[in-house]
Amino acid sequence: MAITKIKGWNEDAHLKAFQADLSSVESIIKFSTSLRQWLLDSDLHCSVQILINNAGILATSPRVTTEGYDKMIATNYIGPFVMTKLLLPLLESSPVSSKIVNVTSFTHRAVTNMQVDEGTVSGKRFLKSKQYPYAQIYEYSKLCLLLFSYELHRQLCQMGKSHQIFVNVADPGVVQTNIMREVPASLSWVAFFVLKRLRLLESFESGNDSIIDAALTPPGTSGVYFFGGKGRTINSSALSQDTKLAHELWETTSDLLSVTPFGNKRNNF
């Protein structure tokens, strides 16, 4: 559908849709390989100018991925981490500056104490709970993505690549999508009703604004939190700006992925 729409605007556009399961490391690896091969076969410049990690789920029951991770954490955080790692060489090879946009949520502010051991980052600790704490896991996963974004920005600066690759975060606010489809209908209806009355509920169309702002920001803007559209930037939570915590999360995630199809070596950028 998206390809048809874009072709309607520009019939000369060279497009291809790929399928990838962001909760599966193996699926992401296959996607990155297919993308690179398509770029080569199409005689296109083998590079990526923009990566938007927008996948996200709110699961109300525990599910385990083939790698043994909690599926919500895998989709919302580990998947984007892996996707970014695998596409970073293509982003680096872009003839113009490239951008990474990670879509997070204001709910990250609900996390006041964070653990970044392997059991928590993988979600295995949550899977052992008698009652699946889905709201807590969602908030945690979005904070992980935010910490990763800031740490990636800092590491690119240290490597002297901050002029080439820019990393920003987009928070759409409260948008009426089907992400709450697993939440009891009565609860989600009340939540959306109250938010709408308070004028805090964004439409599906306007929910894209902060993502577009982050994607189209002028070169040089990096490590910034875009919120709610209209070019607005705000500070994320104090915990999300803890550089020591962000580095520890980075290390834990890299260690976690060292036993996946990446192999037995450390997976540093």
Average of pLDDT values for 34-56? 94
What is the pLDDT, as a whole number, of residue 268?
45
What is the pLDDT, as a whole number, of residue 53?
98
In this structure, is residue 6 part of a structural domain? no
Q: How far apart are the first and last CA of the chain?
A: 35
Cα–Cα distance for residue pair 215/105, rounded to 1 Å: 17
What is the pLDDT, as a whole number, of residue 13?
87
Q: How far is CA 66 from CA 25, 132, 238, 260, in A?
A: 9, 19, 34, 10
**What percentage of the chain carries pLDDT values higher than 70?**
83
102 three-class SS? strand
What is the pLDDT, as a whole number, of residue 2?
84
Question: Does the CA dihedral 228-232-233-235 come out positive or negative?
Answer: negative
Average pLDDT along the chain: 88
In this structure, is residue 139 part of a structural domain? yes
Give the model confidence (pLDDT) of 102-145 as tens digits.
Answer: 999 988 999 999 999 999 999 999 999 999 999 999 999 999 99
Cα–Cα distance for residue pair 49/101, rounded to 1 Å: 11
Q: Which domain holds residue 98?
A: 49-257
What is the pLDDT, as a whole number, of residue 182?
52
In this structure, is residue 268 part of a structural domain? no
In this structure, is residue 264 part of a structural domain? no
**Could you tell me the CATH number of the domain that includes residue 244?**
3.40.50.720
Closest C-alpha to 214, from 226, 197, 200:
226
In this structure, is residue 126 part of a structural domain? yes
What is the domain count for the chain? Answer: 1
